[in-house]
């Protein structure tokens, strides 16, 4: 890293990580999020420990429904996240949203910059705003869009290319609205609460936001993070991964890799759900001591009643 000057974060954020990679540039100081790895590598914990919940079983009257609800309840308590399968969204459509995201980021830089955000803005194509002092920059580019309610949409940030992007995103938004209703009711049921209790907390105009992340290859992967450790300020986040594993959640002082399951959606509790669940568990622990501890994960992304979904 010798001889590399450190530019201010504001200047670096005006330039895309993809551009730096194409120019053969090494990460500059604001992107350095960890020291050179000289210590012996720590084995990664098993990734198959992260709960997988089959949502299709929860509406059944069979004994397996009660068992799956108990597994969901346990996942909320001990992990604060779970992989959702059986959600009714065809894998072919999930592949379609992955493909339009990939096609967008593979376009020439000039095309993508038509939807660029300002350094201090959040919505649009670019990078997150300048972080707090002492925090590193993420080695990634992203497209962030308000998608619901519809009157919050700023179409100047919605890509016109690839041609199918807007149509696919609109359909994905509709499917995510159905999915979040299904998940919210399932979580409530697993906790013996009224089915609509979480939905009522979010409200009919709960904001829904979409975030597409692109992680470029780096000449020094030992120094950077595509997305630094953080907890989301939303109600909860729904994450659709591609086939490259790298997403991790933090639990019991260890990082766990989330396995890439092509038809699964990762449901990750945010700060709002943390508060609600902690209050609920405070009451329930009198009946079930094992619920005394609640875990809400930090992972390696906003305060109103917001549900976000990410394609990463």
33 band by pLDDT with thresholds 50, 70 and 90: confident
Share above pLDDT 90 across residues of the chain, in percent, rounded to a whole number: 44
Q: What is the pLDDT of residues 235-256, one digit of tens each?
A: 899 999 988 888 888 888 888 8
* CA distance linking residue 73 with residue 208, whole number of Å: 25
Q: How many domains does the chain have?
A: 1
Residue 271 domain boundaries = 9-35+49-311
* Total-model pTM: 0.84
pLDDT reported for residue 150: 95
- Look at residue 41 in the predicted model and tell me its pLDDT: 40
pLDDT in tens, 41-57: 445 556 568 999 999 99
Of residues 286 and 16, the one with the higher pLDDT is 16
Whether 42 is covered by a domain: the verdict is no
Chain mean pLDDT for the chain: 82
**Mean pLDDT comparison of 160-174, 244-258, 277-291, highest-scoring range:** 160-174
pLDDT score at 37: 44
pLDDT of residue 302: 31
Residue 308 confidence (pLDDT) above 60 = no
Q: What mean pLDDT comes out for the span 227-235?
A: 82
Residue 304 forms part of a structural domain: yes
> Among candidates 86, 88, 91, which has minimal Cα distance to 64?
86
Mean pLDDT of 136-159: 94
Residues contacting 288, CB < 8 A, separation 6+: none
| Distance, CA of 136 to CA of 9 (rounded, Å) | 9
Q: Looking at residue 56, what is its pLDDT? A: 94
Does residue 43 lie in a domain region? no
The average pLDDT across 121-130 equals: 86
Domain-embedded: residue 2:
no
* Residue 41, domain member (yes or no): no
Say if 227 falls within a structural domain. Answer: yes
User: CB atoms < 10 A from the CB of 120, how many?
Assistant: 9
| Lowest-confidence region among 82-86, 185-189, 229-233 | 229-233
78 lies in a domain? yes
The Cα–Cα gap between 110 and 168 comes to 22
Highest mean pLDDT, choosing among 45-49, 128-132, 247-251, 285-289: 247-251
Percent of the chain beyond pLDDT 70?
Answer: 80
CATH for 151: 2.60.120.330
Is the residue at 17 inside a domain? yes
Per residue in 78-110, pLDDT tens? 899 999 999 999 999 999 999 999 999 999 999
Q: Do 254 and 300 meet the contact criterion of CB atoms below 8 Å apart?
A: no
Asked whether the predicted pLDDT for residue 68 surpasses 60, the reply is yes
| pLDDT(158) > 70 | yes
Band the pLDDT of 38: cuts 50, 70, 90.
very low
Spatial separation of the C-alpha atoms in residues 83 and 268, rounded to whole Å: 9
């Amino acid at each position: 890293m010798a001889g590399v000057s450190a530019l201010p974060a504001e200047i670096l954020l005006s330039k895309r990580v993809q551009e730096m990679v194409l120019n053969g540039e090494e990460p500059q100081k604001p992107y350095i999020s960890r020291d050179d790895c000289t210590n012996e590598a720590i084995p990664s914990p098993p990734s198959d420990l992260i709960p997988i919940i089959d949502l299709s079983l929860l509406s059944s009257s069979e004994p397996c429904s009660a068992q799956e609800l108990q597994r969901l309840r346990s996942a909320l308590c001990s992990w604060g996240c779970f992989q959702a399968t059986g959600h009714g969204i065809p894998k072919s459509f999930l592949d379609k949203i992955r493909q339009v995201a990939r096609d967008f980021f593979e376009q020439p830089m000039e095309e993508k910059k038509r939807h660029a955000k300002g350094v201090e803005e959040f919505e649009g194509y670019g990078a997150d705003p300048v972080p707090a002092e002492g925090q590193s920059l993420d080695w990634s580019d992203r497209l962030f869009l308000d998608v619901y309610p519809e009157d919050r949409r700023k179409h100047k940030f919605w890509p016109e290319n690839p041609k199918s992007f807007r149509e696919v995103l609109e359909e994905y938004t509709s499917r995510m609205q159905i999915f979040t209703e299904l998940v919210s009711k399932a979580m409530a049921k697993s906790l013996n609460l009224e089915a609509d209790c979480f939905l009522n907390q979010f409200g009919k105009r709960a904001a829904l936001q979409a975030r597409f992340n692109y992680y470029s290859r780096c000449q020094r992967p030992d120094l950077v993070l595509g997305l630094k450790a953080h907890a989301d300020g939303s109600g909860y986040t729904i994450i659709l991964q591609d086939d490259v594993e790298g997403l991790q959640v933090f639990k019991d002082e260890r990082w766990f890799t989330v396995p890439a399951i092509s038809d699964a959606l990762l449901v990750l509790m945010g700060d709002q759900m943390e508060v609600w669940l902690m209050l609920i568990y405070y009451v329930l622990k009198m009946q079930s001591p094992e619920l005394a501890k609640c875990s809400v994960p930090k992972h390696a992304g906003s305060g109103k009643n917001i549900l976000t979904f990410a394609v990463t």
